[in-house]
């Protein structure tokens, strides 16, 4: 046993008997507050000497891992198969309800891993490849959504031209994500892009993910908690809030008026508002001038 721990426990109890609070004792001894609380509770139950003896005994040799009864393992596997590969939380609920046996969810997954290949629901550190860059129009389009209470805004931006789109809906679902995808790609982005990048929100799954490859070669999902991968659309979303809809919440019956405000903002954004990333030129000003010149010629 590391004798220094026995000394720390004794000092902890001496300070506690002197009237110091547990938080103060933890600070004085440089120990975690939860450790101090555990020591003091153990000493209060049986006394200092018995606690130290039990502490010494617990530290002798390696602890043997707890073995799960093979019958319980079989029950876990049977529930998994019977319920079509359900999750550990559901297995825990059914096991307790039907057999009055309680197992922690981590232990259930440990048992499942003995027989099945457990695939995590999502992988936080999953490699997603390099963040795509654009050297021309329609190479990369980033999409996102904004919460306005009972209304939601789907947003998109071409990271090269900075052309953008905003579509207001009453629900944040894959069905409305699909509606935004068709509307935005057909009317704003000429029907196709090399890469469409979104985050992992549910609005970009289901119907959206089923149809996204009609409009792109690759659908990339940005890494969670890395907003720099969605920097262009995040910047545009701030502009939508700051210059158009604000940080307010809206009711569902305000959909049409909010969409009208968004349309007015988009006209200003595309043809009047100077963009620093484009050398203080609006995204569509040069395109409009080129069209006028070609028409006149």
Q: Residue 208's domain is classified under what CATH number? A: 3.30.420.10
Identify the pLDDT of residue 288: 52
Predicted model pTM: 0.57
Distances (CA, A) of 287 to 66, 215, 246: 70, 23, 29
**Are 179 and 287 found together in one domain?**
yes
**Are 24 and 93 found together in one domain?**
no
The CA dihedral of 274, 188, 174, 251, to the nearest 10 degrees, is 60
Identify the pLDDT of residue 4: 67
As a whole number of angstroms, the distance between CA 274 and CA 271 comes to 8
**Are 213 and 153 found together in one domain?**
yes
**Are 168 and 235 found together in one domain?**
yes
- Structural domains counted in the chain: 3
Identify the pLDDT of residue 60: 66
Q: Does residue 126 form part of some domain?
A: no
CB-based contacts of 62-67 (< 8 A; 24+ apart in sequence): none
Q: What is the mean pLDDT of each run of 10 residues along the chain (297 residues)?
A: 73 91 88 89 90 81 70 92 86 92 90 81 59 90 95 95 95 93 94 93 91 94 84 94 93 95 94 82 66 45
Angle formed at CA 258 by CA 254 and CA 261, multiple of 5 degrees: 150
C-beta separation of 111 from 122 below 8 A: no
**Are 96 and 233 found together in one domain?**
no
**Are 218 and 145 found together in one domain?**
yes
Q: Strand pairing partners for 178?
A: none
Closest by CA position to 215, among listed 178, 188, 187, 185: 185
Question: 293: Cβ–Cβ under 8 A, 6 or more apart, which residues?
Answer: none
**Are 270 and 216 found together in one domain?**
yes
Identify the pLDDT of residue 1: 39
As a whole number of angstroms, the distance between CA 233 and CA 145 comes to 9
Q: Does residue 123 form part of some domain?
A: no
Q: Does residue 64 form part of some domain?
A: no
As a whole number of angstroms, the distance between CA 211 and CA 65 comes to 49
**Are 50 and 95 found together in one domain?**
no
Q: Which domain holds residue 85?
A: 70-113
**Are 81 and 54 found together in one domain?**
no
CA 266 from chain centre, in angstroms, equals 29
Q: Does residue 297 form part of some domain?
A: no
**Are 147 and 180 found together in one domain?**
yes
Angle formed at CA 230 by CA 225 and CA 236, multiple of 5 degrees: 125
As a whole number of angstroms, the distance between CA 61 and CA 64 comes to 9
Identify the pLDDT of residue 92: 92
């Amino acid at each position: 046993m590391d004798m220094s721990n026995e000394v720390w426990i004794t000092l902890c109890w001496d300070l506690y008997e002197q009237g110091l609070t547990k938080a103060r004792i933890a600070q004085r001894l440089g120990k975690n507050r939860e450790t101090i609380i555990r020591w003091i509770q153990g000493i209060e139950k049986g006394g200092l000497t018995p606690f130290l003896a039990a502490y010494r005994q617990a530290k002798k040799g390696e602890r043997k891992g707890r073995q799960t009864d093979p019958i319980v393992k079989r029950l876990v596997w049977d529930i998994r198969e019977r319920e079509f590969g359900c999750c550990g939380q559901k297995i825990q609920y059914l096991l307790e309800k039907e057999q009055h046996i309680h197992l922690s969810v981590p232990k259930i997954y440990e048992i499942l891993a003995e027989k099945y290949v457990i695939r995590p629901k999502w992988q936080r550190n999953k490699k997603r490849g390099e963040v795509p860059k654009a050297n021309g129009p329609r190479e990369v389009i980033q999409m996102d959504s904004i919460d306005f209470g009972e209304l939601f805004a789907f947003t998109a931006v071409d990271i090269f031209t900075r052309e953008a789109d905003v579509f207001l809906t009453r629900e944040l679902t894959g069905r409305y994500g699909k509606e935004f995808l068709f509307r935005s790609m057909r009317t704003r982005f000429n029907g196709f892009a090399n890469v469409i990048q979104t985050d992992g929100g549910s609005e970009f799954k289901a119907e959206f993910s089923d149809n996204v490859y009609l409009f792109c070669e690759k659908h990339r999902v940005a890494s969670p908690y890395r907003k720099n991968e969605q920097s262009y659309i995040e910047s545009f979303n701030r502009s939508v809030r700051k210059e158009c809809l604000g940080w307010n919440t809206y009711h569902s019956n305000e959909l049409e008026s909010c969409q009208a405000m968004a349309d007015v903002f988009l006209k200003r954004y595309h043809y009047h508002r100077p963009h620093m990333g484009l050398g203080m030129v609006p995204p569509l000003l040069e395109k409009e001038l080129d069209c006028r010149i070609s028409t006149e010629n």
